[in-house]
A = this chain, B = another copy of it.
């Protein structure tokens, strides 16, 4: 329902599918992953709807590029999406499902292993977010001085941080409870990465 809106949001400056694709690797990709194979056709669809215009331009380095820019109608659609109400309540969270059904294995140790792996992954994410936060704070200073265009991206980073810390707090709590349940040899450290 929404790559369209993400792209409208991302296109504050005119840009190409290729560049937008790269932006998904770090920023927007954290809350809305997308592949270029989906981005290109979606841009075309947005153009057909009249929400973007496209101008072809030669590139200095490589083949011709299509530069897209938002139209008034496109901005209006973005505005609607940002005022009509929060998009909440249909998220699919596979990791919660995994925790929920872990009981089927009837094995605390297997569950403990799973949750330690989650902990390891989320620690990495938290470290990354904290790194980004430090960089952002250094660059644009304190909350009081921020314009909306800097305030809200920073606020969204804040959600990420709060969420990660909550997940890790839950991991700590749950791992502790599990460790009292599995016998003694429960010192297998978690390892694995993205």
Residues of A within 8 A of B (CB): 1-2, 5-6, 9-10, 12, 28, 30-33, 75, 78-79, 81-83, 85-108, 110-111, 113-114, 117-118, 121-122, 143-144, 147-153, 155-156, 158-160, 162-163, 165-167, 169-170, 173-174, 177, 180-181, 192, 194
With a cutoff of 8 Å between Cβ atoms, the chain B residues found around residue A101 in the complex are 5-6, 9-10, 78, 82, 152
With a cutoff of 8 Å between Cβ atoms, the chain B residues found around residue A192 in the complex are 85
With a cutoff of 8 Å between Cβ atoms, the chain B residues found around residue A93 in the complex are 31-32, 91
A102-B152, A104-B12 known; A159 vs B96 contact (CB < 8 Å): yes
Tell whether, in the assembled complex, residue A97 and residue B148 are in contact, meaning their CB atoms are under 8 Å apart. no
With a cutoff of 8 Å between Cβ atoms, the chain B residues found around residue A121 in the complex are 86, 88-89
A158-B170, A173-B158 known; A114 vs B86 contact (CB < 8 Å): yes
Chain copies in complex: 2
Nearest chain B residue, comparing its CB with the CB of A93: B31
Report which of B113, B165, B177 forms a contact with A83, defined as CB distance below 8 A.
B113
Nearest chain B residue, comparing its CB with the CB of A107: B148
Tell whether, in the assembled complex, residue B152 and residue A97 are in contact, meaning their CB atoms are under 8 Å apart. no
| Shortest CB distance A19–B (Å) | 17
